[in-house]
Structure 1
Amino acid sequence: MTEYVNTNETLKIPLSKGKLVLLLAGALLFVILGLWFIKQPEIFRKGVALIIVIGYAAVIFFGISAIFIFRKLFDTKAGIILDDKGIHDNSGGVSAGFIPWGNITNISTIEVSRQKLIMIEVSTPDDYINRQTNYIAKKAAAINHKMYGSPISITATSLKYSFDDLYYTLRKRWQQNISASEL
């Protein structure tokens, strides 16, 4: 775990191309599985209609995920940049962009379906929802806000950084920058 966090230095956390390739392979595997459910639902004997619905849901959800992951594979920008102004989030398909330290009201963690997320609570959540230009990303941010209290969630899944280190670093940088601005 990170011992000391210096808020004077800019920290650039790169995207992990290896993790992204694995995520893409997993998404494509679920798309193929979904197509198989659609094409041959009768192998399950019972609940054929349900199997077809599950197949379509898998193809749509994981197909969209695969598109976002594929695009991220060719992204040359850092996944997260922390500087004295705030967080620059480019870590996922629904990235928040720039989040000033002064706009953050809390940083916490949640776990959804065994996926750990860092929730960045902000004083103006609608700004972060409305800045999403993609319809799906905007809907995802709005759902995040409604269900978890913030439109901004960050995971270390696509980063060359562990989840615990990322959470610790974000909290420390936020606390130190808030303390410095109060002086």
Structure 2
Amino acid sequence: MTEIKFYKSKKRAISMMLLCSIFVLLGIWLLPKEPLIGWSCIGFFGLAYPLGIYNLIDKKPMIIINEVGIYDRSANRDFINWELIHDAYPINISGQKFICLIIDEKFKPSRKKGVIYKSAVKLNEAIGAQELNIHLGQIKKIDEIKLTEFILEMSKADKNTKTELIKTLPNTV
């Protein structure tokens, strides 16, 4: 089975650690004058180092696309089958890119979840997103418009066409 895998960007992890280093150095500089603020800066922005190192050594794909569907490690534990996807659209929320997937009501994960999860879904919908969103913020260079168009094509294609479409994806994204 042909699969296309998208991985986290190492460049983004390094840039996050470098940017937070500025604030950690600022916290060190503030220690003699304002110890509480200095330690707060060091503690908060210092959390970027373990997070950045984790992103650097993480070898698992974030998104897998194949003939069966889409697997997004950050959003779902199972593949989202192409037959369930009715529509998709890109959205940008505070500089973070997402592809929102509109699926059939009876297959939404919130049907089996608790009140807190359902409240989070309502917040998503209030800002224009959906219950199932593919987060593209950590992925290497990717064109969200072309990927959205590809998802729409795959959701409407038959099994034989899906195999051919998968082979064309690396050229378009």
Matches within 5 A, 1:69-108: 71-90=54-73, 94-97=74-77, 98-108=79-89
- Residue 4 (structure 1) aligns with: none
- The one-letter code of the counterpart of 2:57 is F
Equivalent position to 1:175, from 140, 153, 161: 153
State whether structure 2 residue 118 is matched by structure 1 residue 121: no
One of 91, 103, 115 as aligned partner of 1:110: 91
CA distance in 1, matches of 2:54, 2:152: 29
**What's the CA shift string for 1:79-135, capped at 9, x where partnerless?**
211100111112xxx43342111222221012222333221222233349949xxx9
Give the 5 Å matches for 1:129-148.
130=113, 142=121, 143-148=123-128
Q: Distance in 1 between matches of 2:128 and 2:37?
A: 36
Cα distance in structure 1, aligned partners of 2:22 and 2:15: 10
The aligned residue for residue 49 of structure 1 is: none
Corresponding pairs, count: 147
Structure 2 residue aligned with 1:13, among 6, 31, 39? 6
Equivalent residue number for residue 132 of structure 2:
152
Deviation at 1:158, TM superposition (A): 1.4
CA displacement 1:161-181 (0-9 Å, x = unmatched): 32x2x4413432442342216
Query: Scaled by the length of structure 2, what TM-score is found?
Result: 0.58
Q: Max radius of gyration: which structure?
A: 2
Gap change, CA 1:152 and 1:24, over 3 Å in 2: farther
Deviation, structure 1 residue 24: 4.5
Change (3 A) 1:66 1:102: farther
AA at the equivalent of 2:157: S
TM-score (norm 1): 0.56
